[in-house]
Amino acid sequence: MTGVPSSASPASSFAPAIETVGVTKVYGSGNTEVVALREATMKIERGEVVALLGPSGSGKSTLLSAVGLINPPTRGEIRIDGQVVMRGPRALVDVRRFRRERLGYIFQKSNLIPFLTALENVLVALAISGQEGRSAKRRAMDLLGSLGIAARAHNLPSALSGGQQQRVAIARALANRPSLLLADEPTAALDSTLGRQVMELFREVGHEHRAGVLVVTHDQRALDVFDRTLMLEDGVLAEGGVGQSVG
């Protein structure tokens, strides 16, 4: 992709939200060398909601953190919105700015900041991307409202249930209108009903906000929610897999 400015530019709505080309991740060296990811090549369009499946230790978190610009790959290329962001372990852009402006993360545990209320947890994400004041507050409340937890906006995370916390985390991840939403086993702490609700929420978000969504999950029952599934086994990525439903 030549001719693309090297900083975070307005997303091109035709380029895929995320694209990896031959991404390989090797942990350690010599005797302790572990190849966690082998030549992973994939593409997620905007508005596409994709599940990432695979047994434990297959490299799911590794792929997610590489795509999330948290853990650089050893080899291969990562493109976001059509722009080459990582080439091998080298960042070609201001990674922090990309994280701030293009990416949203949701973790297995909700990972909210314990001393901030639900609302403030969303506001802090907005503040990080430079949005403050009344409009930011309105946006945060809207997000919490659309996730059905506006009533708990002024509670600290410790006063929220696991599901509510996870929804605050989702609101926070969506705050800066990311073009790519990444979630690593977001429903592991939730019961199956709530888990399914959260998955459906991802689907809605992906479709409505036209964001690419990549969700690592073990939950077989909610797979019908996804447009597509990716399968990882021993570091090797394959299209499709158990419970695949074509969207």
Ligand X SMILES: Nc1ncnc2c1ncn2[C@@H]1O[C@H](COP(=O)(O)OP(=O)(O)OP(=O)(O)O)[C@@H](O)[C@H]1O
Minimum CB–partner distance for residue 61 and Mg ion (Å): 3
3-state secondary structure of 226: coil
178 CB-near residues (< 8 Å, 6+ apart): 101, 102, 103, 104, 211
Q: Does 126 bind ligand X (CB under 6 A)?
A: no
Q: Does 89 bind ligand X (CB under 6 A)?
A: no
Of positions 16, 59, 73, 157, contacts ligand X by CB under 6 A: 59
Q: Does 34 bind ligand X (CB under 6 A)?
A: yes
Starting at the edge strand found earlier in the chain, the sheet holding 18-27 runs: 90-91, 83-87, 75-80, 18-27, 34-44, 236-239, 228-233, 49-53, 212-216, 180-184, 103-106
Q: Does 104 bind ligand X (CB under 6 A)?
A: no
Q: Looking at beta carbons only, is 116 or 223 nearer to another protein?
A: 116
Q: Which does 114 bind (CB under 5 to 8 A by kind): another protein, Mg ion, ligand X, none?
A: another protein
Confirm if 232 and 50 have CB atoms less than 8 A apart: no
Of positions 11, 46, 61, 228, contacts ligand X by CB under 6 A: 61
Binding positions for another protein, 6-65, rule CB under 8 A: 61, 65
**Cα(96)–Cα(99) distance, integer angstroms:** 5
**CB-closest chain residue to Mg ion:** 61
Q: Which does 111 bind (CB under 5 to 8 A by kind): ligand X, another protein, Mg ion, none?
A: another protein
DSSP-assigned letter for residue 177: -
How many residues belong to the site for another protein (CB under 8 A)? 29
How many residues belong to the site for ligand X (CB under 6 A)? 12
With CA atoms as reference, report the closest residue to 216 among 101, 106, 102: 106
Confirm if 33 and 111 have CB atoms less than 8 A apart: no
DSSP-assigned letter for residue 2: T
Confirm if 70 and 63 have CB atoms less than 8 A apart: no
Q: Does 28 bind ligand X (CB under 6 A)?
A: yes
State which amino acid sits at residue 238: A
Binding positions for another protein, 101-140, rule CB under 8 A: 101, 103, 105, 107, 111, 113-116, 120, 123-125, 127-129, 132
Binding footprint of ligand X on the chain (CB under 6 A): 27-28, 34, 36, 54, 56-62
Q: Point out which residues bind another protein (CB under 8 A).
A: 61, 65, 70-71, 96-101, 103, 105, 107, 111, 113-116, 120, 123-125, 127-129, 132, 156, 172, 184
